[in-house]
Amino acid sequence: MRISTKFAPRKADDGKPLTCTTDTDLKREQLLDLYRYLKLTRLVEERLVNLYRQTKVVGGVFRSLGQEATAVGTAYALGQQDFITPLIRDLGAVLVKGIRPRDVFAQYMAKAWGPSGGRDLNIHFGDMERGFIGPISHLGDMIPVMTGILLGARMQNKSIVGVAYIGDGGMSTGAFHEGLNFAAVQRLPLIIVAEYNHYAYSTPTSLQTACRDLAEKAVGYGIPATIVDGNDVVACYEVMKQAADFARRGGGAVLIEAKTYRRKGHAEHDDQRYVADGEIEWWEKNNDPIDRFERYLLDQKVANQEKLDEITAGVIREIDEDCDWAESSPMPQPEEAAYRVFDNEIVPPSLRPKVLEN
Amino acid sequence: MSTAVKKEHKSAPPERGGPATLVEAIRQGIWEEMERDPTVFVIGEDVGTYGGAFKVTDGLLDQFGRERVIDTPISEGAIVGAACGAALMGMRPVAEFQFIDFISAGFDLLTNYAAKCRYRWGAGLPAVFRGPCGSGVRSGPFHSLNAESFFLNTAGLKIVEPSTPYDAKGLIKAAIRDPDPVLYFEHKKLYRLPRLREELPAEDYIVEIGKARTVREGRDLSIITFGAMVLTALDAAEELEKEGLDIEVIDLRTLAPFDKAAIEASVKKTNKAIVLHEASRTGGIGGEIAATIAEEAFEWLDGPVLRVASIDTPVPYSPPLEDYYLPQIKDVVDAARKLAAY
């Protein structure tokens, strides 16, 4: 596999503002589609923050501000049949996989019409038809689960790849190691997207691992790795395309490290006291993935500002409609809590015992 | 690159029915399910070339090939996680823990992933997690566990433990066909016990999950138990019979969800109950069953519900220590005498 090691530049080589790689075959329509997904991701999250401030969200809101390009670009390189298992900061990948914003809004507001019917939070659900397996809170657990998805697919003679997203924090878990090691041994087409976003909650990467780059860890599994500029959406797409081709052709597991930066705290409540002064502002000003891609689209004359504004207006319309839909959903009926632990045609629901009801 | 060498040794396929020990019954069950349903596969440590530490999966590799009989790294997280993922894809994994003690290394994925998938997003996860449990075989603190209590408080996992070859085969088949995750515990002391050898039907059958079995009918007192302790209960019952006590023995077979109706019916008949199990007393399933009896059949009771269980220590290694740890026939007899005197 060809490895590109141009990543996370502090500034472009020529001193000009950062943009995206021109080394791509992406067509105009695809580039504009990528732009739409980037904007959709950011604006869905902004709407969630609004809902949170109106106390309509039950629990926390988790942002991917500043790192949207990694999720959007990598997921966009996959086929419909391929599987992803994202982390909380990979909403972009979930949307690219065809999950509608309305489902995400309903989940965050704990509504009955959400895909989990109010039983679980945010993107903690799945859609097998769309190749989306939602995460659980236990970081690393989804790596062995994705290994199993691919093992099952191999037995069914399905030619798919599976992408598991993980962060610099999640890679410290035992489950990450166990899942990737097994996938590597079995030469399963598992692609790890390791997002180096500098912080796991408040803990810097230097306290997670003694490796300089997360990609170094791949050596221990006998698999190839590559490092990509995670804020260059085009580069993220291209690197995943290569990795997916490699895995699909029988090359086995691959690790992609995406260098990016988490500009918001762990969740909305986090005051980020652990971040050095000026660091967030630097990234916002110089290395925002959407700014970079807009610059690229305008410089390369893929679109003019009017076209980009039109796309954004369409995204806002979709968000308005989907948010209205989710808000109109009722909350779940209380006794729904008792159902679906098991197949209820075999084991009856766990209704409250009558003795407690008087 | 080295791979496990396959010598010119071919294990015979299992008989279809006929006389069988417990381990042969389980092997028959898995074999027949793999023949019946191409989505069934086996995954675990040393399950392929070696045929499993206790030979439950012996010969499966020759018959079904490496795609469906998968040797894994020493990695319970990988085994459980991979079984979960494959089950989501519509496969029916039968995952082996070499000893049930090692289930702790897969605990997170079992309790947080396997158990909660259907509840969280409606994704049924038809996987079997099986392995040898139980003490009394001088194996010390790490090869003797009875793990049911770790999982009783986790909604979403079924737990079964057979005590006869007939039930072992019927329950493994039922577990494989079940749409939800099932923990299938096999008491290693019973695997090759000649006393248990019995004739199995040649035709396909299952034993329904969730149903207890009355092993011995009696009027005076119920002993509610499962696994290897069924034999202890039967031996105690025989001794007590000499004293004129007519003991009923209930084999739970399924520990989650356990058969409340069968327990209730037995206690309403005998009015006295002992719960007997091999795991430590505190936090054991005995407390749960005793509480159920107190809630559902208090007016029928003529005495306290007694628990006979192991002491609250790790499982010790040396025979005198382990015998002190475990409930013995005499403990059951003593408890029954005490209760009968009420």
**Residue A213 binned pLDDT confidence (cut-offs 50, 70, 90):** very high
Chain A residue with minimal CA distance to B155? A341
Give the mutation candidate from A81, A161, A341 for the B interface (greatest B CB count, under 10 A).
Answer: A341
Contact B142, B183 (CB under 8 A): no
A328 CB neighbour count, 10 Å cutoff: 10
Provide the angle, in degrees to the nearest 10, between the axes of the packed helices A68-76 and A233-246.
Answer: 40
Which contiguous run of DSSP H or E holds residue B280? strand B273-280
pLDDT > 70 fraction of chain A, expressed in percent and rounded: 95
Report yes or no: A343 at the B interface, CB cutoff 8 Å. Answer: yes
pLDDT > 90 fraction of chain A, expressed in percent and rounded: 93
Average pLDDT along chain A: 95
CATH class of B18-200: alpha beta
Report yes or no: B295 at the A interface, CB cutoff 8 Å. Answer: yes
Segment A144-182, tens digit of pLDDT: 999 999 999 999 999 999 999 999 999 999 999 999 999
**Residue A2 binned pLDDT confidence (cut-offs 50, 70, 90):** very low
Classify residue A59 as left (phi > 0), alpha (psi -120 to 50) or beta. Answer: left
Beta A203-204 vs A199-200: how paired, if at all? Answer: antiparallel
> Does this chain's domain B18-200 share its CATH topology with B213-340?
yes
Written as six digits, the tokens of B122 are 């409606």
Contact A45, A290 (CB under 8 A): no
- Nearest beta carbon to residue A144 from set B78, B90, B179: B78
**Residue A13 binned pLDDT confidence (cut-offs 50, 70, 90):** low
Instruction: Give the pLDDT of chain B (342 residues) as one tens digit per residue.
Output: 566 666 677 788 898 989 999 999 999 999 999 999 999 999 999 999 999 999 999 999 999 999 999 999 999 999 999 999 999 999 999 999 999 999 999 999 999 999 999 999 999 999 999 999 999 999 999 999 999 999 999 999 999 999 999 999 999 999 999 999 999 999 999 999 999 999 999 999 999 999 999 999 999 999 999 999 999 999 999 999 999 999 999 999 999 999 999 999 999 999 999 999 999 999 999 999 999 999 999 999 999 999 999 999 999 999 999 999 999 999 999 999 999 999
Report yes or no: A181 at the B interface, CB cutoff 8 Å. Answer: yes
Report yes or no: A112 at the B interface, CB cutoff 8 Å. Answer: no
Contact A67, A260 (CB under 8 A): yes
Task: Report yes or no on whether pTM surpasses 0.90.
Answer: yes
The reported pLDDT for the residue numbered A358 is: 46
The reported pLDDT for the residue numbered A5 is: 43
**Residue A354 binned pLDDT confidence (cut-offs 50, 70, 90):** confident
Write out residues 129-168 of A within 8 Å (CB-CB) of B: 133-134, 136, 138, 141, 143-156
From B229's Cα to the closest Cα of chain A, the distance in A is 27
Mean per-residue pLDDT, A2-22:
67
From A176's Cα to the closest Cα of chain B, the distance in A is 9
Query: Quick check: A25 pLDDT over 90?
Result: yes
**Residue A3 binned pLDDT confidence (cut-offs 50, 70, 90):** very low
Query: Quick check: A6 pLDDT over 80?
Result: no
Residues of A in contact with B118 (CB under 8 A): 340-343
Segment A255-268, tens digit of pLDDT: 999 999 999 999 99
Beta A126-127 vs A132-133: how paired, if at all? Answer: antiparallel
Cβ <8 Å between B85 and A148: yes
The reported pLDDT for the residue numbered A357 is: 52
Record: fold of A28-329? Rossmann fold (3.40.50)
From B214, B151, B86, select the one nearest A162 (Cα to Cα). B86
With a CB cutoff of 8 Å and minimum separation 6, the contacts of A288 are A66, A231
Mean per-residue pLDDT, A308-318:
98
Mean per-residue pLDDT, A281-299:
97
Domain residue ranges in chain B: 18-200, 213-340
From B38, B33, B49, B113, select the one nearest A147 (Cα to Cα). B113
Cβ <8 Å between B113 and A136: yes
Tell me the CB-side half-sphere exposure of residue A170, using CA atoms within 13 A.
Answer: 27
With a CB cutoff of 8 Å and minimum separation 6, the contacts of A242 are A1, A2, A226
In the three-class reduction of DSSP (H, G, I as helix; E, B as strand; rest coil), residue B128 is classed as: strand
The answer to whether the complex's ipTM is over 0.90 is: yes
**Residue A117 binned pLDDT confidence (cut-offs 50, 70, 90):** very high
Classify residue B105 as left (phi > 0), alpha (psi -120 to 50) or beta. Answer: alpha
Cβ <8 Å between A133 and B88: yes
The reported pLDDT for the residue numbered A12 is: 59
The reported pLDDT for the residue numbered B9 is: 73
CATH of domain B213-340: 3.40.50.920
3-class secondary structure for chain A?
CCCCCCCCCCCCCCCCCCCCCCCCCCCHHHHHHHHHHHHHHHHHHHHHHHHHHCCCCCCCCCCCCCCHHHHHHHHHCCCCCCEEECCCCCHHHHHHCCCCHHHHHHHHCCCCCCCCCCCCCCCCCEEHHHCEECCCCCCCCHHHHHHHHHHHHHHCCCCCCEEEEEECCHHHCHHHHHHHHHHHHCCCCEEEEEEECCEECCEEHHHCCCCCCHHHHHHHHCCCEEEEECCCHHHHHHHHHHHHHHHHHHHCCEEEEEECCCCCCCCCCCCCCCCCCCHHHHHHHHCCHHHHHHHHHHHCCCCCHHHHHHHHHHHHHHHHHHHHHHHHCCCCCHHHHHCCCCCCCCCCCCCCCHHHCC
Cβ <8 Å between A149 and B87: no
